[in-house]
Structure 1
Amino acid sequence: MASHNWIDLTQDHDTGIETLRAHFEGHAYDPHWHDSYLVGVTEHGVQQFNCRRIRHQSTPGTVFLLEPGDIHDGDAPSEGGFTYRMLYLDPLWLERELSAVFDNAPANAQLSFANTLACDPRLARATSLAFEALHSGELRIVRQSALDGLLEGLTAHLQWRTRYRQDPRLPLVAQRARDYLHEHFYQDIGLDELARACNIDRFRLSRAFKAAYGLAPHAYLVQLRLAKARRLLASGEQPASVAIALGFADQSHLGRWFVRAYGLTPARYRAKCSNLPDA
């Protein structure tokens, strides 16, 4: 591989999903196929490949969708090459998750992509969010929420998705979910666990919660933890111990969320509020 080409590959330990971000200039790879569903987005440049006897050119923001067994190659037709991000979805995982997210998904539900390229900004954003959540090892509920958003985008036009109707239980479901999050905010809660506690599928749970409180369940949980973090930091607790106590992966993980919410690091906030030096 030429020195200007690079690949960054990780695998999510819960789902087994591989996430890949790569850059190629010139020839990228010979014809091959995967036993996974491939969902990806071109970030930069022109990604050219042959698939289903058609030559495709994917440009920034375009989503490319390949089914297991789709033979494809890849090269960069223009100077500067191309950069893309990709998720590899196992068919068995996909079938299982569709039935968990949507309780009216048909048995043995499998996706079939009518088009290899999709100019769909919402799906492109959902793909990128799912990639970022898995690739960076986010909280379990954040990863699940991002993947559910991807599944929602991938199935948006399927016939069985149109069967959903307004459920009179939803306001009560949202309140029950909120109470559950307050009681278990320090735990590594998953959307599947939250849905089981509320006796509803994950899709309607997320919709009901956002309608009631203006945030998705995963975002609400993060805000709960950050509010608790502020109190602990102001009382003099060290950022590292606060991160562990509240279920963040480590201090830097807490720091990323804290800066996004409040515009300063946990250590800086602690110093301003407690007047205590760092240990």
Structure 2
Amino acid sequence: MTAHNWIDLAQDAETGIETLRAHFTGHAYDPHWHDSYLVGVTEQGVQQFNCRRARHQSTPGKVFLLEPGELHDGEAPSAGGFTYRMLYLDPQWLTRELGALFEEAPADSQLSFASTLASDPRLAQATCNAFHSLHSGELRIVRQSALDQLLEQLTGHLHWRQRYRDDPRLPLVAHRAREYLHAHGQLDISLNELSQACGVDRFRLSRAFKAAFGLPPHAYLVQLRLARARRLLARGEPTAEVAVALGFADQSHMGRWFVRAYGLTPALYRKRCTKLPDA
């Protein structure tokens, strides 16, 4: 974090929704993904990012929408940087809350955003209102009303789609490798071990995996560990214990990757989410 960059993050205790307002100049963060649905609004400047194999530029008033697992980065292409506010919505919470607005979900499906960037003033206003009510700790009824308004505006940008594991565009070997990483992500996995588990040589595996998920296996494993670290830290788990449990060499090793992906240290993230001092 430089003198010109800043992050203000909090977590709503009732819903688990994280609210983040931040400003970046130049390079903001490396390619990474989240377990949450991201709904954000650019306040100032140009927010440039790559997602869904395309480059996007979000300018003031535009809403950016990212699904869990979608790889994205961030940078400021112009002087003055960019400022944005964002909500991290838990997938289970979002699906449950939208149950009253959508018909029953088709089998083996999940909610998906129709586009990554939207010019929708009503959605932008609803996002800002929800952010303010949660971030500033408004009365419970005010927070709930603001979230209901956000959900109502989001319905026009959401649809049901088949889950990734049933997507015929992704080779079976890439799915097997991803499942293996999710099941053994805390271990010191070698590329040879992963390729043997998938029944192909490591060169074919790496090509297939990157084509399917946008990252080579080793980088995906790091992102998987970081996503799990966020969940554990948000629950108040000590930073050093989280690093060891997830297979990082030590706390500073996890910290370096965490800052590159999210722009703040694990200890600061834990403190903002739990109000607990680092342990």
TM-score by length of 1: 0.54
Query: Can you give the 5+ residue segments of structure 1 that lack an aligned partner in the other structure?
Result: 161-279
Equivalent residue number for residue 12 of structure 2: 12
Partner residue, 1:132: 132
Q: Give, in whole Å, the separation in 2 of the partners of 1:75 and 1:20.
A: 17
Distance 1:3 1:148, change over 3 A: same
**Relative contact order, higher structure (CA 8 A, sep 6+):** 2
CA deviations on 1:178-237 (whole Å, 9 max, x unpaired) are: xxxxxxxxxxxxxxxxxxxxxxxxxxxxxxxxxxxxxxxxxxxxxxxxxxxxxxxxxxxx
Q: Which amino acid aligns with 2:101?
A: F
Structure-1 residue corresponding to 2:75: 75
Aligned partner letter, 1:3: A
CA distance in 1, matches of 2:159, 2:57: 29
Per the normalisation by structure 2, the TM-score is 0.54
User: Secondary structure in 1 aligned to 2:134?
Assistant: helix
Structure number, greater radius of gyration: 1
1:239-250 equivalences in 2 (<5 Å): none
Match of 1:96 in 2: 96
The SS at the match of 2:143 is helix
Say whether 1:65 aligns with 2:79: no
Percent of pairs identical after alignment? Answer: 77
Distance 1:141 1:103, change over 3 A: farther
Q: What is the root-mean-square deviation of aligned Cα atoms in Å?
A: 1.9
- Give 1:111 deviation, angstroms: 2.3
Counterpart in the other structure of 1:23: 23
User: What's 1:43 paired with?
Assistant: 43
1:1-279 correspondence runs (5 A): 1-99=1-99, 101-102=100-101, 104-106=103-105, 110-156=110-156
Q: 5+ unaligned residues in a row in structure 2: which ranges?
A: 161-279
Cα pair distance change 1:103/1:116, threshold 3 Å: closer
- The offset of 1:107, in angstroms, is 6.9
Deviations 1:149-168 (A, max 9, x none): 111111036689xxxxxxxx
In the TM superposition, residue 93 of structure 1 has moved relative to its aligned partner by: 0.6
CA gap 1:30/1:159 in 2 versus in 1, 3 angstroms: closer
What is the CA-CA distance between 1:18 and the residue it aligns to? Answer: 0.2
